[in-house]
Amino acid sequence: MRTPQISVVMPTYNRLGRLQHVISALERQQYPAECYEVIVVSDGSSDGTDDYLKGYRSERNLRWFTQANRGPAAARNLGIDKAKGELIVFVDDDVVPQPQLLAEHVRAHNEAARDVAVIGPLLSPDGFVMTPWVRWEQEMLMKQYRALQGGIWQASARQFYTGNASLPRARILAAGGFDENFRRAEDVELAYRLADRGLDFVFAMDAVGMHFAERSFTSWINAAYTYGGNDVIFARDRNQKWLLSAIENEFHQRHVLIRSLVGMCKGRPQLTSLTTSALKFAADAAGMLRVERLEEIAYSGLFNLQYYRGLRDEMSKTQSPSFLS
Task: Summarize the confidence of residues 202-211 as an average pLDDT.
Answer: 98
Percentage of the chain modeled with pLDDT above 70:
98
User: Positive or negative, the Cα torsion across 252, 136, 98, 126?
Assistant: negative
**pTM of this structure:** 0.94
pLDDT value at 319 more than 80: no
pLDDT digits (tens, 9 = 90+) for 103-125: 999 999 999 999 999 999 999 99
Closest to 136 in 3D by CA, of 272, 278, 302, 18? 302
Instruction: With cut-offs at 50, 70 and 90, classify the pLDDT of residue 325.
Output: low
Q: What is the residue-averaged pLDDT of the chain?
A: 95
The pLDDT, as a whole number, for residue 321 is 60
Q: What are the DSSP calls for 40-99, one per residue? A: EEEES--SSHHHHHHH---SSEEEEEEESS--HHHHHHHHHHH---SEEEEE-TTEEE-T
Tens-place pLDDT, residues 55-66 = 998 877 999 999
pLDDT of 142-183, one tens digit each?
999 999 999 999 999 999 999 999 999 999 999 999 999 999
Does the pLDDT at position 246 exceed 80? yes
